[in-house]
Amino acid sequence: MTLSIVWFVIVAFFWTGFFVLEGFDFGVGALHKLVGRTDVERRVAINTIGPVWDGNEVWLIVAGAAMFAAFPPWYATWFSALYLALWALLAALIIRGVSFEFRGKFDGTAWRSTWSWTLTIGSVLAPLLIGVGLGDLLVGLPIDADGNFTGTLLDILTPYGLWVGITVLALCLWHGATFLSIRSTGIVLKRSVSLKRSLSIPASLLVIGFGVWTYLVARPGVGGTIALAVPVLATLVAFALVRSEPGAGRAFAATAVAIGGTVAAVFANLYPAVLVSTTDDAYTLTVANSTASSYSLTVMTIVAAVLVPLVLAYQGWTYYVFRARVKGPATPPIAEQAPTG
């Protein structure tokens, strides 16, 4: 039972980490057409996340796989319930993922524009859809005694889920803008600074709304309330910081806490349930009734204890290696081959 709680925390940790890291990747992808008007400017924006986006996306895979291993019924019920929404998510992640590689491989205006659009659309749709799915965990789905979803596509699109989706999307955009403002230079930097300011208003309002709505849905105790207070406070801090020029790094840290805290708050308010059934409380999936066996969890705990610190170390090292701001080249490059020297 104790290990089940540990694994609930690990699953929440991977979803949180996914949004802290891939959150700004989504933001940069969605905003790159706005902060960059020319091809070189857009490439500067894309290249700020170039070395890291792929590794960041693995957090999503591991979050899903950790659910599969530690809470098989949770993974099975949630993924099959969200069926068409998840296929839309996969389509978004596919067109977005190949955009990075395909875009630069051919030098044509229409070609580059196409892959800029797929990058934008994929980067907007993905956090929105994942947010809806996370919100549904808390507000509940029609789940029967066998753990099967009995609703239709419309039942997935719960008002609360949509609010979480839009909130997460807004946070990704904002987080992306604060990231660009610490990693870019020149005109791209200037535009991202102005974007992070204008995005601060809708993002803050959405997070406050999320806090209130989640409180009403979950009726949390002290722990859940604190978990909700964290993203709201971080958002307010970030709201203040994006207006001060020298605090770019701190503003980025604040949006990181805001987006991570939002996702973590969903899980904190979900516990001890993992997927609420609106059909009957008795059908709600919980940490206790969905857990894998203690042997399996013990094996996985040992593996995670060894590998997670290692992964954090080398991913952290990547950010250290590529800490310099991305500059455009003095002369526009032909950019025919991906690795330009």
Among 6, 33, 34, 68, binds other proteins (CB under 8 A): 68
Tell me which residues in 40-59 interact with other proteins (CB under 8 A). Answer: 40, 43-44, 46-47, 50-55, 57-58
Helices of type H across 219-272: 222-241, 248-270
Q: Is 147 left (phi over 0), alpha (psi -120 to 50) or beta?
A: left
Among 69, 189, 195, 268, binds other proteins (CB under 8 A): 69
Return the range that interacts with other proteins (CB under 8 A); candidates 74-82, 218-226, 238-246, 263-271.
74-82
> Is residue 75 within 8 Å of residue 68, measured between CB atoms?
yes
Q: Is 129 in the site for other proteins (CB under 8 A)?
A: no
Q: Is 61 in the site for other proteins (CB under 8 A)?
A: yes
- By residue count, the chain amounts to 341
Among 38, 148, 198, 244, binds other proteins (CB under 8 A): 148
DSSP characters over 81-131? HTHHHHHHHHHHHHHHHHHHHHHTTS--HHHHHHHHHHHHHHHHHHHHHHH
Return the range that interacts with other proteins (CB under 8 A); candidates 22-30, 38-46, 260-268, 275-283.
38-46
* Alpha carbon distance 178, 24 (integer Å): 8
Closer to other proteins by Cβ: residue 2 or 293: 293
Tell me which residues in 255-294 interact with other proteins (CB under 8 A). Answer: 292-293
Binding mask 90-109 for other proteins (x = CB under 8 A): xx-xxx-xx-xxxxxxx---
> Is residue 258 within 8 Å of residue 57, measured between CB atoms?
no
Among 201, 212, 226, 299, binds other proteins (CB under 8 A): 299
Closer to other proteins by Cβ: residue 131 or 147: 147
**72-81 vs 109-139: helix crossing angle, rounded to 10:** 120
**Of residues 34, 334, 56, the one with CA closest to residue 184:** 34
* Alpha carbon distance 10, 279 (integer Å): 28
Among 131, 140, 147, 224, binds other proteins (CB under 8 A): 147
Binding mask 316-335 for other proteins (x = CB under 8 A): --x--xxxxxxxxx---x-x
Q: Is 75 in the site for other proteins (CB under 8 A)?
A: yes
Q: Is 84 in the site for other proteins (CB under 8 A)?
A: yes
Strands 285-286 and 273-275: antiparallel
Q: Is 65 in the site for other proteins (CB under 8 A)?
A: yes
